[in-house]
Structure 1
Amino acid sequence: MDDGPQLRFARTGDGVTVAYQVFGSGPVLVWMPSLSNIVAQWRIPAMRAAYQALARHLTVVLYDGRGTGSSQRRVDLGDLGVDAHLRDLTAVLDDAGIARASLLGYYHATATALAFAARQPQRVRRLVLFGGAPRMREAMLPAQTRALLSLIDQDWDLFADAAAAAWLGWDMSPSNRWTAEAFRTATTAPVAQAWFAAAQDIDVTAELSRVRAPALVLHRQSPQQIPAGVARRLAAALSDARLVELPGDTPTLFLQDPDTDVRLVAEFVTGGPIRHPAPGPLTAREREVLALLPGGDSNAQLAARLGIAVHTVERHLASIYRKIGARGRADAVTYALRHVTDFRHPR
């Protein structure tokens, strides 16, 4: 099984050894970690394909943060806040001889990428941000996330399986087994607990005004994990940011529509234009929801009539609005009255 490029090792200012990989050619993109195991991640077919696709356009840098993967596992569990993560990133850039790079802040690493761009603007070309927030507590509020985090100290193996399947949406993919294994081997339960406990207190909101690097904020519809409002607020708070809300409901990159995701990231990092993905046609369920809207039902009533959860109705509505260009429910009702011929009237 392919474990990826040879590991290199950097030393942080506080003496922690950090493992990293460099591959590809072109402008540098540093894919920053949350709980990671870069060696195991190469064994996930979808991730390996994403790495290889990005490497055709970019020089990609991957690394394991302190306490995870192939990096030093024995670390100060009381020092896992944003400053510690910044020391890891700085060490990797310095050891690799990279003076300036674009950063992919993914989930937990979003706040770290923003802080680095604010504090060392001369070293950051561009930012790609997905799945996180400057105030990390906001990204960890959804009930599903809290439920998953509660599993860490109860059953580490169960957490790994559940996170792979439900949190990152890999349950429909043959990559699920390898993704669970990557989670399971990324670190230990005590380190994971300390990581997420520290994340609750990470807040770099006050530093956003100093971020000057152009940013691409990506969001994929999945309100039960990361609400779209989190990404919208982040994009609005940055001086030069573009928000792209991706179609689909799998809350990760490079899985549901990998070609589009790779193209968006690669073109942005290389300085190309942002071409928003064309919305697809309404699904059968979305057409059903749209046909019900003129009846005036609330989301809860729609959910009861269709036999689905309220958050599923909300997800369908968000997708409908995006696809038909509606600004909200009133626009969608108007659209339905003009285009729908098979209305479902209230019982």
Structure 2
Amino acid sequence: MTPEPRFARTEDGVTIAYQLLGQGPPLVWMPSLSNITAQWRIPSMRAAYTALARKVTLVLYDGRGTGISDRRIDLGDLGVDAHLRDLRAVLDHAGLERPSLLGYYHAVATAIAFAAREPERVNRLVLFGGSARLREAMLPAQTQALLSLVDQDWNLFADAAATAWLGWDSATSGRWTAEAFRTATSPAAAKAWFEAAAHIDVSAEVPLVRAPALVLHRQSEQQIPVEVFRRLAGALPDGRLIELPGSTPTLFMENPVADVELVTGFVRTGRIARPTTGNKLTARERDVLRRLASGDSNTEIGRELGITVHTVERHLSAIYRKIGARGRSDAIRISAMPDDGSPGRGRPA
């Protein structure tokens, strides 16, 4: 059954609707344009919420001006501080002292800012689909084409956002996803959200984040380049990037079981169960990683394996991507872990 909504009040008097379900460590799924009531009608999202709630206490909420939250808002006040007020109101009303945050698309910057400014209130971060500089997430041509529809044809924007952009199929899930977009807010509010997002930049606060952060990427080349997420993970003091198999730019749809296990495992224990589907190292990549872990230089690896240094570098690039390593020393550390990410001796995937 769909959880009954609860209502929190921000310090500037905006009513924020949220839902709370499940048990275990709290995870707050922070919104972009959302409608928590309509989203439960999407079969894949309902399944994801239910699966997450078996492992964590899941909190969903609609930001100001969206869903069933207060829509009578100042459209000129949609910067990061306004979104932080919404988050604080939900945490205070729900009595959540130190939850983990799932920053999704627009909410990535808000999650980073909150973790940097109030580190004692954040356990861990999971970041997907956005950037500390939100304009980076809005630059791809496909995204710009989609945003141009907000003014021109709101219904077409909703349909395109659900299918062409996020990759939901055209059957039940796609239809209900489009309806969730369509009812999330008004065209004027959506335009104000996106215009404000283009000016949100919390990159100076990224080095201040102390919470362990898991940065996830599963997108096609037509959307946000993976380099954006690599820079973000590299700038976070305790950040790790995992490039997920597949090309659909959503979580919990293309490989829902693995996505749920990855996110809840990290939230519950801090361990990272590295995805393996389509992500296994080749035999030669395993050879390269073993030599790397033994302390060999690229030249020494090439000489031992009978390959050029350029080929060694190409293999290392693939290895880093597949195991979520930030570089040479990180790959060596990961190679000495068991597959659940806990300390100890292990072997390459």
Contact in 1 for aligned 2:261/2:273 (Cα 8 Å): no
Q: Percent identity?
A: 70
> Residue 227 of structure 2 corresponds to which residue in structure 1?
229
User: Secondary structure of the equivalent of 1:165?
Assistant: helix
Superposition pairs of residues 43-192 of structure 1, within 5 angstroms: 43-171=41-169, 174-192=172-190
After TM superposition, the runs of 4+ consecutive aligned structure 1 residues lying more than 2 A away are: 171-174, 279-282, 320-326
Distance 1:271 1:204 in 2: 27
Contact in 2 for aligned 1:32/1:62 (Cα 8 Å): yes
- Which letter maps to 2:14? V
> Residue 39 of structure 1 corresponds to which residue in structure 2?
37
CA RMSD, aligned part only?
2.0
Distance 1:174 1:257 in 2: 18
- Which letter maps to 1:65? G
Distance 1:53 1:155 in 2: 35
Contact in 2 for aligned 1:46/1:255 (Cα 8 Å): yes
In structure 2, runs of 5+ residues without a counterpart are: 281-313, 324-349
User: Secondary structure of the equivalent of 2:243?
Assistant: strand
Distance 1:144 1:264 in 2: 29
Per-residue deviation at 1:74? 1.1
Contact in 2 for aligned 1:279/1:323 (Cα 8 Å): no
Distance 1:53 1:325 in 2: 26
Contact in 2 for aligned 1:148/1:163 (Cα 8 Å): yes
User: Secondary structure of the equivalent of 1:248?
Assistant: coil
User: Secondary structure of the equivalent of 1:170?
Assistant: coil
Per-residue deviation at 1:172? 5.9
Contact in 2 for aligned 1:135/1:202 (Cα 8 Å): yes
Distance 2:79 2:177 in 1: 25
User: Secondary structure of the equivalent of 1:57?
Assistant: coil
Distance 2:13 2:97 in 1: 21
TM-score (norm 2): 0.80
CA distance 1:323–1:273, change in 2 (3 Å)? closer
Matched, 1:215 2:213: yes
- Which letter maps to 1:164? A
Contact in 2 for aligned 1:30/1:101 (Cα 8 Å): yes
Superposition pairs of residues 284-295 of structure 1, within 5 angstroms: none
> Residue 243 of structure 1 corresponds to which residue in structure 2?
241
Distance 1:139 1:26 in 2: 32
> Residue 299 of structure 1 corresponds to which residue in structure 2?
none
> Residue 300 of structure 2 corresponds to which residue in structure 1?
none
Matched, 1:11 2:9: yes
User: Secondary structure of the equivalent of 2:247?
Assistant: coil
Distance 2:7 2:92 in 1: 11
> Residue 258 of structure 2 corresponds to which residue in structure 1?
260
User: Secondary structure of the equivalent of 2:127?
Assistant: strand
Contact in 2 for aligned 1:281/1:323 (Cα 8 Å): no
Per-residue deviation at 1:100? 1.0
Contact in 2 for aligned 1:142/1:224 (Cα 8 Å): yes
In structure 1, runs of 5+ residues without a counterpart are: 283-316, 327-347
Matched residue count: 288
- Which letter maps to 1:33? P
